[in-house]
Structure 1
Amino acid sequence: MTQSLAGKIAVITGAASGIGLATTEKLLANGVTVVMVDWNAKALDELAARLGPQVIPQVTNLLDAESCAAMAPEILKKVDHIDILYCNAGTYIGGELVDTTPEAIDKMLNLNVNAVMKNVHAVAPHMMERKSGDIIVTCSVAGHFPTYWEPVYAGSKWAITCFVQTMRRQMIPHGVRVGQVSPGPVISALLADWPEENLRKAKESGSLIEPSEVADAVEYMLTRNRNVTIRDMLVLPTNFDRV
C-alpha cells in the first residue's frame, strides 16, 4: 500500500541541480508543492519559471550562519506548513587528507553536517507540533564503508548516518519519520572533485547512477504508509564494486 503525496509541501535544499533538482521534478509530478532552496538565485528563478506555480524559490546560503538560521522562518512566511524536509545540499572532497586544506574541511563539515543539523533543528518543532512529517537526508554509501580515497567526505557522511538514526528514534513518539538515502556515485557536479583516474574508470565501467534514480528512492520512502519507515536506502550502480 502507498500513500498519495498530492497536496503536500516539501522543502528541498540544494534543489537547483543534481539530486535536488531531480527530486523536485519527481515530487512535482506527484502533486507536491516544492520550496526549492539554493544559494543560486538566478538558477532558482529560471527553474521556477520552467517548472511552474507549484515551485516556490527560497534563496539561502547554508554556509552563512544568518542565512541558514533565517531559512525556516522565511519559508513559513511563504507556506503555512512543511510536510517534508529533504536535506540534500552537500559538497565533496576526495583524495588524500594531506592534499586538502583546513578551509576545505571546514566548508565540507559546515555544509554536510552542521547545516543539516541546523535545518532539522529548525523544522523539527514545527513537525512535532503538527504530529506529522517526513525528514530525509542525503547520505552516501561512504557513510557505511571506510572509503579510503575520500576520508573527509566519508567522515562527514558517517556523522550524518549517526545523526539521522538517533533523530529517527527521538522523533518516533511525535509521528515524524526520519530516514536517509545513501547513493553510490551519482552523475553530478560533485564528481568534478573526484580523482580523474577514478572518474574515468567509473564512467567506462558503468559504475555511476543518474540523479533521477536517487529521486525514485526518495519517492518510494515518502509514499509508504505511515506505519512504515524506510530508515535508510542504499542505491548503488550495479557495477560499483568498491564495497
Structure 2
Amino acid sequence: MTGKLNGKVAAITGSASGIGLASAEAMLAEGARVVCIDRDRAALEAMRARLGDAVIPLVIDLLDPKDCATLLPRVLELAGRLDILHANAGSYVGGDLVDNDNAAIDRMLNLNINVVMKNVHDVLPHMIERGSGDIIITSSLAAHFPTPWEPVYASSKWAINCFVQTVRRQVFKHGIRVGSISPGPVITALLADWPAEKLQEARDSGSLLDAREVGEVVTFMLTRPRGMTIRDVVMMPTNFDL
C-alpha cells in the first residue's frame, strides 16, 4: 500500500461483486474510504467484516428512481464528502437480438445507461463546488468493437463511451476528470449469460481477465497527477484475438 488515496472518499456502484468489489479492494489498499453501493445488503456487510471499517455499506436499488436519487445525499451523510465516483453497476444481455426479451432489454439499458447518467448528473454539483473530483465509468471492449453476439449490450456501452467523452469535455474546467475502463471479458457473474460455446472457447484460449486486474488499472487512473486524464483504458487478455 502506497497511500496514494489517503483522505479520499470513493463511492462505487455494484460493489458487492466482480469489478466493483475488485475496485473497492484496490482503492482501500491505497488508503481511501469507500462507500460500497449495492442492493445486496448481506454481501456488503460481509465486505465490511472482511475488509474493515473503511468500507461503508450503502444499500440502494439503482433501478428504483427514488432510491437512486438518494445516492449523493446518503454518501455525504455517511462520509462527509465525495472525491471519486466509480459508476460500475451494470447488467448483460447477450445472444441474437431476435431471441432477447423486451423486459430484459429495458432493464439492462436502464441500468447501463440511464442510471449511470443520473448518478454522474447528481454528483457533479458537489464536485464542481469543491473544484475537484474523479469519475470513472465501467465500459467495455464492446464499446470499441461491434461484437456480433451481444448487440444490445454492446450498444449500451457505445452510448456510455459517447457520454464519457462528451461530459469530460464539459467538466474538466472544474478540475473534474472523467474516464472509462473498457475491459475485455472478465471473470464475473455477467459471463453467465454468454453463449456456452463462446464462454468455453474463451476459457480454453486463456481469453479472460481477472477482476482484480481491472481494479488495479482503476487505481492507476486515479493516482495520476491532476494535470493528466486517462481518458479510456482498453484492456484485454493477450490471447483475446486468437
Q: Secondary structure at the match of 2:70?
A: helix
- Give the corresponding residue for 1:157: 157
Q: Kindly report structure 1 stretches of 4+ aligned residues shifted beyond 4 Å.
A: none
What is the rounded CA distance, in whole Å, between the counterparts of 1:3 and 1:117 in structure 2? 30
Superposed displacement of residue 4, structure 1 = 2.0
Alpha-carbon offset, residue 27 of structure 1: 0.7
Alignment correspondent of 1:168:
168
Per the alignment, residue 77 of structure 2 pairs with: 77
C-alpha distance after superposition, 1:47-69 (max 9, x if no partner): 11111010100001111111101
1:88-118 CA-to-partner distances (Å, cap 9, x unmatched) read: 0100011100111110110000100000000
What's 1:147 paired with?
147
Number of corresponding residues: 241
CA distance in 1, matches of 2:74, 2:133: 19
Shift in Å, 1:20: 0.6
Deviation, structure 1 residue 3: 9.0
TM-score by length of 1: 0.97
Stretches of structure 1 lacking an aligned partner (at least 5 in a row): none
Query: Paired residue for 1:67?
Result: 67
Contact 1:3–1:223 (CA<8 Å) still a contact in 2? no
Aligned to 1:105: 105
For 2:157, the aligned partner's letter is K
Indicate if the aligned counterparts of 2:3 and 2:30 stay in contact, CA closer than 8 A. no
For 1:220, the equivalent position in structure 2 comes to: 220
Task: Report the Cα distance in structure 2 between the residues aligned to 1:70 and 1:37, rounded to whole angstroms.
Answer: 11
Write the distance in 2 (CA, Å) between the matches of 1:239 and 1:7. Answer: 39
- Structure 1's 3 and 21: CA in aligned 2 closer, same or farther, altered over 3 A? closer
Following TM superposition, by how much is the alpha carbon of 1:46 offset from its aligned partner in structure 2, in angstroms? 1.3
Q: Which moved more, 1:69-78 or 1:36-45?
A: 69-78
- Are 2:3 and 2:29, in contact at CA under 8 Å, matched by a contact in 1? no
Distance 1:62 1:148 in 2: 29
Q: Extract unaligned runs of 5+ from structure 2.
A: none
Matched, 1:26 2:34: no
SS of equivalent to 1:217: helix
**Displacement after TM superposition at 1:41 (Å):** 0.6
Matched residues in 1 for 2:75 and 2:7: separation? 17
Are the counterparts in 1 of residues 10 and 83 from structure 2 also a CA contact under 8 Å?
yes
Shift of 1:5: 1.1
RMSD over aligned Cα atoms: 1.1
TM-score, structure 2 as length reference: 0.98
Residue 224 of structure 1 deviates from its aligned partner by 0.2
